[in-house]
């Protein structure tokens, strides 16, 4: 039997292993994620080193070392404070930050498609249809809440609890010279997220090793897990204990539980706070004039740190392990194809099927992978999930609206929400004896734009609404190497029925 398979078959198996590593915990050391599914990007999205500077440094402009005004992305280190500042460069850097923040917000704000996730092993293609901010704004604007007024002492406690989770600060927009109030996480929450990311990294590394061993097709993986499994379990538990002890996990959970306990007694007050949070999170892109909600990865410097990253390896043993996904859309059109090679780095992408094959015995893929939580200070899921609100029944347009119907799979304006972004970096790809063939094919089409294989970007030109950049790659005897950061997909949380008002409540405002 030939070991040669089509690229789509190989990519199918790769995505299956990624899904197993992220979603299928053992229920003991790593918990299962039954209310999450994976949505992969249909084409790879490369990111430059400066993409998240806005979240690391704030929106103020920064002078940078060895900077070319035409290539600000190539210098990301702040300049010596003693050096003279160029107002034009400061303004240009500030504009780039707003553009990057707008682009990331727009991507995370899209409501993921939930069709087909039941039969596909909780994997889907990123096929968004509406916006999270739109659905959430409707819920805030046209809803009624349980009518009961809290006493002043309860209000004071609520304000204090919220101040432990969020802080506000004033920043001056260098472009408009206006002062903008920004809501950010408190130091407690920042530490919580940092330790949570480290735990995710250890859990992902353990899960990847465990799944490779369980399949029983790779003898080395079986031996590795048998010998190192107990050590990996200790690392996962140590990371979890560090999260509890130094990441304030229990304190964070108690604060949120206290706020949730008050919700039924003071929901009108909380709704007003949620509205204020939403408005404070609205920023304006100075280049386009478009509004967007502040959104950032947490921690913002994840790409510059080793914490949270785990090695992902796929070889002949992985392929024999029969990792796979099958995804079909209930809205018609047959199965979803994530295995095709895509050419083009902007809105116009040409997917084409190459005649080349891949030898499953010699194929080898390595990269580092990180699961990074998405921070949205303007959106509070506690409100959405609560039983103390409903759409106004006097409003004929929205009274029967559902954000989610709670079905399997759920439908509605917002049946799911992206909670984590999945990043990879330092991609190494070896097609074995077919290396020269793929090298020739990729170089031939490179002039037409960037090249992607499924959600993996293989280098070349990529453009978006703000700029266009060329992402380099190199070939050697071991195959293809693509440095740099890529976004390949999202973890999505499916919502239960919302609104689902408490039937005992009769007094609504």
pLDDT digits (tens, 9 = 90+) for 157-203: 888 888 888 887 777 665 566 777 777 888 898 888 888 888 888 88
* Residue at 237 is within a domain: yes
pLDDT at 115: 73
In angstroms, rounded to a whole number, what is the distance separating the alpha carbons of residues 88 and 75? 16
Does residue 40 contact residue 125 with C-beta atoms inside 8 Å?
A: yes
* Residue at 176 is within a domain: yes
Does residue 78 contact residue 57 with C-beta atoms inside 8 Å?
A: yes
Domain that holds residue 223: 4-74+85-90+125-494
- Report how far apart, in Å, the C-alpha atoms of 65 and of each of 60, 332, 505 are: 16, 53, 61
Peptide bond into 299 cis (omega under 30): yes
* Residue at 119 is within a domain: no
* Residue at 111 is within a domain: no
pLDDT at 334: 31
pLDDT at 157: 84
Question: Residue ranges of the chain with pLDDT lower than 50?
Answer: 63-70, 72-77, 79-80, 82, 326-336, 346-348
* Residue at 254 is within a domain: yes
Place of tokens 């299928």: 24
pLDDT at 67: 47
pLDDT at 166: 84
* Residue at 157 is within a domain: yes
* Residue at 155 is within a domain: yes
End-to-end CA distance of the chain: 70
**pLDDT tens by residue, 274-294:** 888 888 888 888 878 788 999
* Residue at 161 is within a domain: yes
In total, how many domains does the chain have? 1
**pLDDT tens by residue, 481-497:** 988 899 999 999 999 99
Instruction: Kindly report the pTM of this predicted structure.
Output: 0.74
User: What does DSSP assign to residue 149?
Assistant: P
Provide the CB-side half-sphere exposure for 231 (13 A, CA).
6
Looking at the DSSP bridge assignments, the partners of residue 143 are: 391
């Amino acid at each position: 039997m030939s070991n040669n398979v089509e690229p789509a078959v190989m990519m199918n198996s790769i995505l299956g292993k990624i899904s197993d590593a992220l979603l299928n915990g053992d229920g003991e050391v790593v918990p299962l994620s039954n209310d999450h599914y994976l949505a992969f990007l249909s084409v790879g999205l490369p990111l430059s080193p400066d993409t998240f500077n806005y979240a690391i440094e704030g929106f103020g402009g920064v002078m940078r070392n060895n900077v070319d005004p035409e290539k600000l992305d190539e210098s990301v280190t702040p300049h010596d404070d003693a050096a003279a500042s160029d107002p034009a460069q400061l303004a240009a850097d500030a504009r780039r930050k707003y553009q990057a923040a707008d682009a990331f917000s727009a991507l995370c704000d899209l409501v993921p498609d939930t069709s087909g996730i039941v039969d596909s092993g909780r994997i889907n293609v990123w096929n968004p249809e509406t916006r999270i901010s739109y659905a959430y704004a409707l819920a805030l604007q046209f809803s009624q809440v349980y009518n009961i007024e809290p006493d002043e002492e309860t209000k004071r406690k609520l304000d204090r609890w919220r101040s432990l989770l969020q802080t506000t600060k004033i920043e001056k927009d260098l472009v408009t010279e206006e002062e903008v109030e920004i809501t950010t996480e408190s130091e407690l929450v920042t530490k919580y997220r940092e330790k949570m990311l480290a735990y995710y990294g250890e859990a992902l590394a353990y899960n990847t090793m465990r799944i490779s061993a369980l399949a029983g097709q790779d003898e080395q993986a079986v031996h590795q897990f048998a010998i190192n499994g107990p050590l990996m379990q200790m690392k996962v538990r140590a990371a979890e204990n560090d999260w509890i002890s130094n990441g304030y996990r229990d304190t964070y959970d108690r604060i949120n539980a206290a706020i949730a306990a008050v919700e039924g007694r003071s929901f009108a007050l909380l709704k007003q706070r949620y509205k204020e949070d939403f408005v404070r999170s609205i920023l304006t892109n100075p280049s386009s004039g478009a509004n967007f909600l502040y959104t950032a990865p947490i921690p913002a410097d994840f790409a510059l740190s080793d914490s949270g990253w785990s090695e992902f390896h796929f070889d002949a043993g992985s392929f024999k392990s029969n990792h796979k996904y099958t995804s079909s859309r209930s809205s018609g059109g047959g199965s979803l194809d994530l295995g095709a090679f895509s050419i083009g780095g902007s809105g116009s992408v040409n997917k084409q099927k190459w005649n080349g094959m891949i030898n499953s015995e010699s194929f080898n893929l390595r990269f580092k992978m990180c699961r990074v939580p998405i921070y949205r200070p303007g959106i509070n899921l506690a409100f959405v999930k609560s039983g103390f609100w409903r759409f106004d029944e006097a409003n004929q347009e929205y009274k029967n609206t559902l954000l989610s119907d709670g079905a399997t799979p759920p439908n509605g304006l917002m049946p799911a929400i992206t909670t984590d972004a999945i990043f990879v970096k330092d991609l190494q790809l070896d097609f074995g004896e077919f290396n020269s063939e793929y090298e020739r094919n990729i170089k031939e089409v490179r002039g037409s734009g960037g090249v992607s294989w499924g959600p993996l970007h293989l280098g070349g030109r990529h453009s978006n609404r703000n700029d266009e950049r060329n992402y380099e790659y190199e070939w050697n005897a071991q195959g293809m190497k693509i440095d740099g950061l890529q976004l390949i997909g999202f973890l999505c949380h499916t919502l239960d029925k919302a609104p689902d008002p408490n039937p005992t409540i009769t007094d609504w405002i």
